[in-house]
């Protein structure tokens, strides 16, 4: 069978996108998914995403990690499927879609800029050495110096496979504060089991950690209303931004912002 696909990337996080509104793709065939994502023997990607119909929303996102297993929410993948759905004519400017972690809202503007609403976060584990939270996927966040020269693979793998996380797994983010409201983040991703050029749920977690650790971002209004912030985040594949409202340790209206672009389209024979 000939499988048609599109390849998208969001700040270097790349995905095989499949229009599966007829639901012909065998989502149980993890070996096929892994082969399609393989960079030597397949198309090559950090993950594979199926776009399917949804009875309540514009579409449904089904995400698979590069190892072939269905994954938790992927922020950059979510931005890319929004751009893909826009290309397919499913919506014009604003959309709502279903994903493994529930409903998401998004919009797209000229220049392929996608703004994706993420889930609320109100449970953050705070320790002297790291932050841990679920932003759609589990994330471990720790601050380091000179992240550009840091051994992300070696140190990330140690944490991902330590006694606490080896069963469930976790993504591991290493953060350097470049300036006020500007971070540099590198991420080891479970499922890919390597560093990726960008991780959307990861930078979201890092923005939240920064908001909890940076004294300039601690305050709430005297009336107790949520205060809005936006943090720019440098990743190996470009620049992203995370905007959110904060009331103490409760984070709402979280938006992941950045470009999502089509790289190429093609077809591949599968058995």
* pLDDT of the residue at 200: 97
Q: How confident is the model over 194-243, as pLDDT tens digits?
A: 999 999 999 999 999 999 998 777 655 445 556 688 999 999 999 999 99
* pLDDT of the residue at 110: 82
Burial of 220 (0-12, 13-18, 19+ CB in 10 A): middle
What is the pLDDT averaged over residues 239-258?
93
205 and 224 both lie in a single domain? yes
Question: How far apart (Å, rounded) are the C-alpha atoms in residues 108 and 255?
Answer: 12
How many angstroms from the chain centroid is the CA of residue 169? 16
* pLDDT of the residue at 224: 52
* pLDDT of the residue at 271: 79
In this predicted structure, the answer to whether residue 90 has a pLDDT above a threshold of 80 is: yes
Question: How far apart (Å, rounded) are the C-alpha atoms in residues 187 and 2?
Answer: 34
156 and 186 both lie in a single domain? yes
59 and 128 both lie in a single domain? no
47 and 128 both lie in a single domain? no
- Computed on alpha carbons and rounded to an integer, the radius of gyration of the chain in Å comes to 18
What is the pLDDT averaged over residues 11-20?
98
User: Which stretches does DSSP call E strand in 24-101?
Assistant: 47-52, 59-65, 94-99
Helix/strand/coil for 57: coil
76 and 135 both lie in a single domain? no
Kindly list the catalytic residues: 74, 199
pLDDT confidence of 166, banded at 50, 70, 90?
very high
84 and 129 both lie in a single domain? no
26: left (phi over 0), alpha (psi -120 to 50) or beta: beta
76 and 154 both lie in a single domain? no
What's the chain's average pLDDT? Answer: 94
Question: How far apart (Å, rounded) are the C-alpha atoms in residues 220 and 231?
Answer: 17
129 and 252 both lie in a single domain? yes
pTM assigned to the model: 0.94
146 and 226 both lie in a single domain? yes
Closest by Cα among 118, 129, 140, 258 to 206: 140
* pLDDT of the residue at 86: 97
pLDDT confidence of 111, banded at 50, 70, 90?
confident
* pLDDT of the residue at 253: 94
250 and 264 both lie in a single domain? no
Name which residue leads in pLDDT, 61 or 216.
61
Closest by Cα among 34, 32, 251 to 131: 251
List the CATH number of the domain containing 58: 3.10.310.10
135 and 250 both lie in a single domain? yes
Q: Provide the residue range defining the domain that includes 158.
A: 124-257
9 and 52 both lie in a single domain? yes
In the chain, the number of structural domains is 2
* pLDDT of the residue at 215: 76
Contacts of 11 (CB under 8 A, 6+ apart): 76, 197, 198, 235, 237, 238, 239, 240, 258, 259
* pLDDT of the residue at 228: 81
Contacts of 267 (CB under 8 A, 6+ apart): 2, 3, 4, 5
């Amino acid at each position: 069978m000939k499988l048609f696909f599109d390849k998208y990337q969001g700040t270097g996080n790349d995905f095989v996108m499949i229009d599966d509104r007829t639901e012909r793709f065998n989502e149980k065939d993890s070996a096929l998914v892994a082969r399609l994502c393989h960079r030597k023997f397949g198309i090559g990607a950090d993950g594979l995403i199926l776009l399917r119909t949804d009875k309540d929303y514009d579409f449904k996102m089904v995400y698979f990690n590069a190892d072939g297993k269905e994954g938790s929410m992927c922020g950059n993948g979510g931005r890319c499927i929004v751009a893909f759905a826009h290309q397919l004519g499913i919506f014009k400017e604003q959309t709502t879609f279903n994903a493994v972690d529930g409903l998401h809202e998004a919009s797209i503007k000229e220049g392929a800029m996608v703004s994706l609403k993420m889930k609320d976060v109100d449970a953050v584990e705070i320790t002297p050495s790291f932050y841990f939270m679920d932003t759609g996927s589990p994330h471990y966040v720790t601050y380091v110096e000179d992240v550009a020269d840091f051994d992300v693979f070696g140190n990330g793998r140690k944490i991902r496979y330590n006694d606490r996380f080896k069963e469930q797994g976790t993504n591991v983010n290493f953060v350097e504060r470049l300036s006020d409201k500007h971070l540099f983040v590198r991420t080891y991703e479970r499922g890919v089991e390597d560093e990726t050029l960008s991780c959307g749920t990861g930078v979201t977690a890092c923005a939240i950690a920064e908001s909890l650790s940076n004294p300039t971002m601690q305050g709430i209004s005297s009336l107790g209303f949520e205060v809005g912030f936006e943090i720019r985040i440098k990743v190996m594949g470009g620049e992203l931004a995370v905007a959110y409202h904060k009331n103490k340790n409760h984070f709402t209206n979280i938006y992941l912002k950045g470009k999502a672009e089509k790289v190429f389209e093609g077809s591949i024979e599968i058995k």
